[in-house]
Chain A
Amino acid sequence: SQQGEEDPQALSIQEGENATMNCSYKTSINNLQWYRQNSGRGLVHLILIRSNEREKHSGRLRVTLDTSKKSSSLLITASRAADTASYFCATSSNYQLIWGAGTKLIIKP
């Protein structure tokens, strides 16, 4: 079952702008991961943040985690057309992986 929730469900921005998407979850977690899915492809792992971490960077990606609010955000800076994809968060707890419904990101040239 999918208990993670991303918002917004869809996001359309101009190339060069920053994109922020959020993920909320319901139970305590071991870690939280973000994945990207290009149309017609499998998911690709972007970044993992552990429950004792608050922020993590990878290239143009910045992920924050607020365990008190049970939420995470993914920021993509200086967006590019190639960033057009769906983005999913996945949380792990009690030997379960729980996936969100995804945010569809469209970068307009």
Chain B
Amino acid sequence: DAGVIQSPRHEVTEMGQEVTLRCKPISGHDYLFWYRQTMMRGLELLIYFNNNVPIDDSGMPEDRFSAKMPNASFSTLKIQPSEPRDSAVYFCASSDGVLYNEQFFGPGTRLTVL
């Protein structure tokens, strides 16, 4: 298996633009997590899905952020409109079985909002 795949790896955009980050989890994994990492705030869990259903989105910072998982092999995290404070590295991770099993992380998307 290729592991968790994220795209793009780098994204530079201007304030106010829509940003869409994509994730393909490991095949067979039924949990998918979106994280944001910054120097100031560290690693933050934004949302996680179980069997394509959003379970806990309490970490989503505001309504400008939305996440979907239309099927077991694809998820998106959208920011609309983007702001400079959204600049961060966004990670997707997946795991199988139960919530607290080992998570496999993707390489991350480094987002810069100018």
Which A residues are closer than 8 A to B by beta carbons? Answer: 1-2, 30-31, 33, 35, 41-45, 48, 88, 92, 95-97, 99, 101-102
Contact = CB atoms under 8 A, between A and B. Distances in A.
B100 A92 contact: yes
Interface of B: 4, 33, 42-45, 55-56, 59, 91, 93, 99-108
A41 B99 contact: no
A48 B101 CA distance: 8
Contacts of A42: 4, 91, 93, 105-108
Contacts of A95: 55-56, 99
Contacts of A99: 42-45
Given A88-B43, A96-B56, A101-B42, A45 B102 contact: yes
A1 B35 CA distance: 11
Contacts of A88: 43
Contacts of A96: 56
